[in-house]
């Protein structure tokens, strides 16, 4: 049987003492071996020559030349903030493309922890919450990413991005080395950061830098061990190469507690600041390295009851030019603000509680609806003087539609549909319990008790100071009595009979997102009293309004018998159709007081035209239907107009308020 033999081309010689037959045989074998060698040498260039290694991707700091190095070459970013949580997923590409066409080469992105972990250990990265898809889309469009994963982000977002369920732990100290807080943070980061690591620039992605915490120098605790712990966790999960940084205000006292060795310190300031002095503060902590303004304010946020914020395009453009002239790296906050849909708007505390409006327009270069503004083109002109702009025009504004008037009808008073809104039934308690105590994060909770005795002459129903968090709508025997407020009215005059039903609907207007008053509990934080005598024996109804509406209520439910027209919390419903295409629109509330709006089950946020400055809610065309009715549901809290209807416009309205008599900005 023929057997193959192993060729050893390194041995081609024989011994002179070998017999002739062996010599002939060896000659043949040598010829074969030589032929094999020639074949190997011929094929070697094709399969054995080592290929040139791909260039090493890196993003680093050059402390000698005071700049960033991207792949070893000096680099400067001009970036803009866009928050995917404030923009419907269908509009992500549109917003990022406009940012790119404005000449920016990077986008700065917050990751709100509470948006992704609504309950401990329950994670949601689907749909509008698919942060990985947003990052990948930015990469597809040629944008680098500056990522700000917190765990605290501020951003005027509910509780600064921290989950309300952290407050379920008694006496937890947020943003500190408290073991209970660190355990929750670590669990979250071990879910989030592994999603981020493959998208780091040095791993082939587009994330060039990652912020650790946010503006910690403005937080009163000043726990360097906490920052050290975060630094260790980020390094362990993202690797040693990633550029990590901090951001703080442009004051030396802000940088004292906000910075840490191993984290590059950057600052934030607006167009009214002295650029040289502001960067001088950064140089106080970072004597060498790139100048960075991580939040250059293109506008400002709005509070309910205040004027609509506005900063001139010329002032913003001049400040940007001054920074770029110095060679600084700049991120514009915001480049596109978007909308605080549902209950995601936060609040500030500046001597009093100040809730943020639903609109996060921010007077940004891209409007709330994503349209380019005069400010955008002024910024684009400045950028063109320092680096080439992309070829092609800026995409035009998206079409808007004024769908006109839509009539609504009253469906039911809130108190008449508790079986739908609170299917689990009430919780019994001697004294009121907070939202956190009953493990409800957002929305509304109803507190019910009975009058303990006859009140023939009006008596004072009083709440302890700062115990109404944040607004309480009071009904006695289902008749609306008025409103109690966190930093406003805290008492009402009531009368009735023993056993009469007293209801207080508590609304969470958004947890504080910045400052020391951070553990912002919601609901009735103290007991109500009647002529100084505490009330007791409460029934507490957790309300799951969004779940009911998402399942089709009230449109899919049996029609309720018509409720008589009385004030107080009630639901209204109606429908409208789009003319063949669903375009963005804005809805106005003529004669309405305050409440919440849903269209096709999507929670568009709070309206409060009596308080202003915001008079309209933005309605993205992506949530509307074509060819079938669009379902409108309104929860009006105080009182609807006699003929309830909404007006759909093709532009937003701001600044028509009670407190600030300013002209509409249309």
Nearest to 514, CA basis, from 228, 220, 312: 220
Sheet holding 455-462, edge to edge: 491-496, 455-462, 529-530, 533-534
Task: Write the CB contacts of 174 (distance below 8 Å, at least 6 apart in sequence).
Answer: 152, 162, 166, 181, 518, 519
- Active site residues per annotation: 215, 295
Structure tokens at 428: 């019994």
3 state DSSP class of 651: coil
Are 500 and 476 contacting, i.e. CB atoms less than 8 angstroms apart?
Answer: yes
- Other CB atoms closer than 10 Å to residue 394's CB: what's the count? 15
User: DSSP of 92-142, one letter per residue?
Assistant: HHHHHHHHHHTT--EEEEE--HHHH-SBTTB---SGGG-HHHHHHHHHHTT
Are 571 and 483 contacting, i.e. CB atoms less than 8 angstroms apart?
Answer: no
As a whole number of angstroms, the distance between CA 282 and CA 279 comes to 5
Structure tokens at 514: 């910045």
- 394 Rama sector, left if φ>0, alpha if ψ -120 to 50, beta otherwise: beta
Per DSSP bridges, beta strands 243-249 and 585-588 are: unpaired
Distances (CA, A) of 282 to 241, 253, 268: 23, 12, 10
Are 216 and 258 contacting, i.e. CB atoms less than 8 angstroms apart?
Answer: yes
Element (H, E) at 180: helix 179-196
As a whole number of angstroms, the distance between CA 525 and CA 246 comes to 35
Q: Is 60 exposed, middle or buried (0-12, 13-18, 19+ CB in 10 A)?
A: middle
As a whole number of angstroms, the distance between CA 95 and CA 82 comes to 8
At residue 47, φ and ψ (nearest 5 deg) are: -125, -10
């Amino acid at each position: 049987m023929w057997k193959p033999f192993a060729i050893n081309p390194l041995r081609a010689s024989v011994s002179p003492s070998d017999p002739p037959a062996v010599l002939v045989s060896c000659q043949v074998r040598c010829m074969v071996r030589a032929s094999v060698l020639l074949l190997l040498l011929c094929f070697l260039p094709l399969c054995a020559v080592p290929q040139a290694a791909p260039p090493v991707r890196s993003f680093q700091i050059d402390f000698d030349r005071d700049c960033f190095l991207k792949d070893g070459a000096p680099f400067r970013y001009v970036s803009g903030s866009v928050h995917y949580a404030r923009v419907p997923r269908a509009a992500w590409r549109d917003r990022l493309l406009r940012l790119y066409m404005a000449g920016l080469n990077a986008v700065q992105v917050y990751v709100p922890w509470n948006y992704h972990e609504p309950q401990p250990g329950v994670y949601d990265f689907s749909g509008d919450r698919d942060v990985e898809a947003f990052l990948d889309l930015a990469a597809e469009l040629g944008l680098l990413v500056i990522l700000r994963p917190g765990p605290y982000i501020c951003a005027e977002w509910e509780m600064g991005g921290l989950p309300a369920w952290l407050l379920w732990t008694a006496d937890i100290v947020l943003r500190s080395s408290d073991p209970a807080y660190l355990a929750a943070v670590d669990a979250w980061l071990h879910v989030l950061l592994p999603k981020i690591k493959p998208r780091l620039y040095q791993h082939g992605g587009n994330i060039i830098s990652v912020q650790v915490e946010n503006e910690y120098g403005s937080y009163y605790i000043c726990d360097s061990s906490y920052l050290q712990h975060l630094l260790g966790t980020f390094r362990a999960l993202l690797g040693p190469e990633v550029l990590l940084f901090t951001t703080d205000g442009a004051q030396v006292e802000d940088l004292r507690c906000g910075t840490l060795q191993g984290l590059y310190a950057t600052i934030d300031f607006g167009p009214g600041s002295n650029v040289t002095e502001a960067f001088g503060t950064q140089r106080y902590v970072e004597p060498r390295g790139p100048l960075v303004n991580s939040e250059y304010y293109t506008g400002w946020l709005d509070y309910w009851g205040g004027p609509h914020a506005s900063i001139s395009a010329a002032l913003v453009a001049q400040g940007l030019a001054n920074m770029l002239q110095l060679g600084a790296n700049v991120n514009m906050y915001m480049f596109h603000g978007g909308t605080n849909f549902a209950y995601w708007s936060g609040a500030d505390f500046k001597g009093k509680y100040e809730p943020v409006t639903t609109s996060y327009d921010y007077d940004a270069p891209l409007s709330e609806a994503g349209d380019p503004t005069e400010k955008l083109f002024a910024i684009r002109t400045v950028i063109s003087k320092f680096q080439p702009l992309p070829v092609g025009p800026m995409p035009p504004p998206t079409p808007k539609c004024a769908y006109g008037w839509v009539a609504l009808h009253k469906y039911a008073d809130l108190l008449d549909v508790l079986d739908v809104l609170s299917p689990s039934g009430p919780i019994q308690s001697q004294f009121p319990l907070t939202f956190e105590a009953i493990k409800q994060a957002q929305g509304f909770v109803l507190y019910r008790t009975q009058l303990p005795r006859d009140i023939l002459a009006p008596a004072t129903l009083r709440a302890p100071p700062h115990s109404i968090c944040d607004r309480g709508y009071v009904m006695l025997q289902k008749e609306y009595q008025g409103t109690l407020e966190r930093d406003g009215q805290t008492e009402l005059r009531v009368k009735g009979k023993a056993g009469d039903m007293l209801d207080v609907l508590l609304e969470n207007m958004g947890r504080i997102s910045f400052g020391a008053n951070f553990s912002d509990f919601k609901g009735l934080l103290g007991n109500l009293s009647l002529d100084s005598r505490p009330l007791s024996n409460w029934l507490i109804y957790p309300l799951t309004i969004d779940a009911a509406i998402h399942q089709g209520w009230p449109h899919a439910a049996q029609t309720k018998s018509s409720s008589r027209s009385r004030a107080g919390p009630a639901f209204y419903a109606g429908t409208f159709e789009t003319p063949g295409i669903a375009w963005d629109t804005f809805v106005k509330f003529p004669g309405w007081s305050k409440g919440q709006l849903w269209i096709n089950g999507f929670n568009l946020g709070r309206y409060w035209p009596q308080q202003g400055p915001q008079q309209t809610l933005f309605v993205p065309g992506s949530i509307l239907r074509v060819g079938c009715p669009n379902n409108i549901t309104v929860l009006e809290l105080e009182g609807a107009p006699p003929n309830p209807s909404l007006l759909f416009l093709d532009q937003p309205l701001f600044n028509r308020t009670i407190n600030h008599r300013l002209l509409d900005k249309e």
